[in-house]
Structure 1
């Protein structure tokens, strides 16, 4: 298991890098992993080019960092499916920290693809929407945007945090599947793809 950050680089810079590094440092502290944040920052800077790239940063138990990049195509998610199986991992370290241990997400992502959707939305044992397998989820209700509160047990997404901090029309609340069905619009967000309007597939 390694700590993981998935980022977007454009024009030789990683967007939201301070937020990525802050989340990485918090997870490193939680797992007792020694982390030299400046060394990680320098490694990322030396790995990225000037185009639009995806950046995968991992950190191992000893604090060793590895960075890979790839050309990023324009392929946002367009449809979502609500996985009917209760998400038992909500609130565990597998969800509250981003790591390479992601089989619990991959299984549900694959099920969504089999149902003709681009992304799966996960619902906890109490019937609350938690997150997507690779995204945070938002609904528009009138002039407000709502995302599930972190008490539901999801990942503290970097783009999610950025939007909550910079947009006055955003907030957190307990959301249930019927809230998504009744919403004026549904959106997904992550640091790699940004803001994505999507349609619910039943």
Structure 2
């Protein structure tokens, strides 16, 4: 586990946050996990766009762009590889769910070491499982990266085996949505499919980047409603997120998958990565 190396709150180096912060009290806020490579924040514009969508969805004021980007660049500077976690909360209030009339949002920025052994855009296959926990449907929160991650906490508690890399989540109707900390893609008859995220799930930045890259390369891409049979019957399967990039699935429960031609082509497009 990578510990926090540095922390800033509203641009000031510190580690203590007010106990009245609504992100702590209610999960009232958003976050982004950013990969830093050679001092560069990967896919920042996509992260920023999702953060702005989240602000609109939750009714939060947008963070000051120039100030936020200066803080991020300061944290990323001279870092060969690091992880930045940006939390954007509604600020502080006393008891009760009602927000204050004057919202003073807070920016919390955490920098951690790159996770040991994590390869980005690696051909090494993952071993994954099906999670028993099911996601609830809430279209207003679908796609954004809000601070309430109890679904992911409960799902991740289902396994302790270090050989298992990830778990797949379904919704209450059995539709396959995503991984606990990743987005899912499958290939069937040469067409790239990823689950629709209309009612739940996180619209990942790497998911968006991969879809755009695949279309630019002439690969057909579809956002589809899919069930367990669609996944088990797929020709190829891979996962992605901002840190690991894309990784093929080698084994799901007892089923094995090969790294097929579409996955290999996309891996070649990602290495070297263009942001």
- Say whether the fold is shared (TM-score over 0.5): yes
1:33-62: per-residue Cα shift (whole Å, max 9, x none)? 222122221111111133111110111113
SS of 2:157 mapped into structure 1? helix
Aligned length: 201
Asked if structure 2 preserves the Cα contact closer than 8 Å seen for 1:152 and 1:174, the reply is no
Q: Which has the higher helix share?
A: 1
The answer to whether residue 228 in structure 2 is matched with residue 177 in structure 1 is yes
Distance 1:120 1:197, change over 3 A: same
Which residue of 2 is the match for residue 67 of structure 1? Answer: 109
Which residue of 2 is the match for residue 40 of structure 1? Answer: 68
Asked if structure 2 preserves the Cα contact closer than 8 Å seen for 1:51 and 1:71, the reply is no
Asked if structure 2 preserves the Cα contact closer than 8 Å seen for 1:137 and 1:148, the reply is yes
Q: How far off its partner does 1:112 sit? A: 3.7
Greater mean deviation of Cα atoms: 130-139 or 61-70: 61-70
The answer to whether residue 56 in structure 2 is matched with residue 29 in structure 1 is yes
Aligned-pair RMSD on alpha carbons? 2.1
Structure 1: runs of 5+ lacking an equivalent:
none
Q: Distance in 2 between matches of 1:134 and 1:42?
A: 28
1:154-182: per-residue Cα shift (whole Å, max 9, x none)? 21111111111221223211111111111
Q: How far off its partner does 1:85 sit? A: 3.9
Q: Distance in 2 between matches of 1:81 and 1:94?
A: 25
The answer to whether residue 84 in structure 2 is matched with residue 55 in structure 1 is yes
Q: How far off its partner does 1:19 sit? A: 0.5
Structure 2: runs of 5+ lacking an equivalent:
1-26, 91-103, 120-124, 255-275
Could you state the TM-score of these two structures normalised by the residue count of structure 2? 0.67
Q: How far off its partner does 1:114 sit? A: 5.5
Q: Which has the larger radius of gyration?
A: 2
